[in-house]
């Protein structure tokens, strides 16, 4: 989402920077920040900073005279994508939990001073859900279970492709893992007369990131005489 940040300067000057308020990125993905001045200014340099515990660390600069430079210690993690003095973007490679937090893009202008945008990075983790379907003790009932692991704790949703089947007796359990992820398991009873190709689905979501979904076909009911036939064939 784009937000307009208004920064008031000492000379009663107001400049507007357009940037992302929050960038969502999965662990291992690349994340892109962009900042754009919506009013033309005499920009000498654009400076990118990482803010950690209220400490601002310069990670990269784009200078009117000397071009772009990623500072020592950050060359493997950061790269420029677009470099203009009015519009600048960087990429954070292979994001990890340690990259989470807020960043500054400073447009160093003359003579007004620095105009600052403040985009933030939120890192999430979401693994493919695992769905299990097994017969219940009752006729035309199946116990459907789905587990998904992520950070923050994912939301797990069950679905079924056949309209006249329905879920009931929902139960959800969340377990905190040692690596700061959560495993959420949702179990429900599916009732009704199914078709041979009926599928159940499980979707896992964290925050507003794209969901991950798997589908599983309800297994055929195993009649007791099937085992005898298999034995005779062997």
pLDDT digits (tens, 9 = 90+) for 173-196: 999 999 999 999 999 999 988 777
Q: How many domains does the chain have?
A: 2
Residues 76 and 21 in one domain: yes
Residues 7 and 43 in one domain: yes
Range of the domain at 192: 127-220
Last residue of a domain, one of 90, 124, 158: 124
Q: Which residues pair with 210 in a beta bridge?
A: none
Residues 109 and 27 in one domain: yes
Residues 103 and 193 in one domain: no
* Residue 223: count of CB within 10 angstroms of its CB: 9
* Residue 162: count of CB within 10 angstroms of its CB: 16
Residues 70 and 32 in one domain: yes
Residue with tokens 């772009």: 68
Where residue 98 sits, what CATH number does that domain have?
2.60.40.10
So what's the pLDDT on residue 135? 85
Q: d(Cα 85, Cα 41) in Å, to the nearest integer?
A: 9
* In a domain? residue 229: no
Residues of the chain with pLDDT under 70: 1-15, 220-234
Residues 111 and 132 in one domain: no
So what's the pLDDT on residue 111? 84
So what's the pLDDT on residue 162? 84
HSE-up of 192 (CA within 13 Å, CB side)?
16
So what's the pLDDT on residue 15? 56
Last residue of a domain, one of 99, 124, 149: 124
Cβ burial, residue 135 (10 Å; 0-12/13-18/19+): middle
User: What's 71's DSSP letter?
Assistant: P
Q: End-to-end alpha-carbon separation of the chain, Å?
A: 63
Residues 9 and 104 in one domain: yes
* In a domain? residue 188: yes
Please tell me the pTM assigned to this model.
Answer: 0.76
Q: d(Cα 37, Cα 123) in Å, to the nearest integer?
A: 26
So what's the pLDDT on residue 223? 52
* Residue 169: count of CB within 10 angstroms of its CB: 11
Last residue of a domain, one of 124, 144, 166: 124
């Amino acid at each position: 989402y784009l937000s307009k940040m208004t920064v008031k300067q000492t000379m009663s000057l107001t400049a507007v920077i357009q940037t992302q308020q929050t960038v969502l990125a999965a662990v291992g993905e690349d994340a892109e920040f962009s900042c754009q001045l919506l009013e033309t200014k005499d920009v000498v340099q654009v400076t990118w900073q990482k803010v950690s515990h209220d400490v601002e660390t310069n990670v990269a600069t784009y200078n009117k005279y000397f071009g772009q430079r990623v500072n020592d210690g950050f060359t493997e993690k950061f790269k420029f994508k677009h470099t203009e003095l009015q519009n600048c973007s960087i990429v954070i490679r292979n994001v990890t939990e340690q990259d989470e937090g807020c960043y500054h893009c400073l447009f160093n202008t003359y003579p007004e001073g620095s105009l600052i945008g403040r985009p933030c990075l939120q890192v999430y983790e979401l693994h493919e859900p695992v769905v299990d379907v097994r017969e219940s003790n009752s006729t035309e009932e199946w116990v459907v279970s789905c587990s998904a692991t992520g950070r923050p704790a994912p939301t797990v949703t069950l679905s079924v492709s056949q309209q006249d089947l329905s879920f009931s007796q929902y139960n959800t359990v969340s377990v905190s893992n040692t690596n700061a992820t959560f495993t959420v398991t949702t179990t429900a009873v599916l009732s009704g007369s199914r078709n041979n190709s009926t599928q159940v689905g499980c979707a896992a979501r964290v925050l507003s990131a794209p969901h991950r979904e798997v589908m599983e076909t309800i297994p055929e009911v195993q009649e007791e005489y099937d085992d005898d036939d298999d034995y005779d064939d062997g």
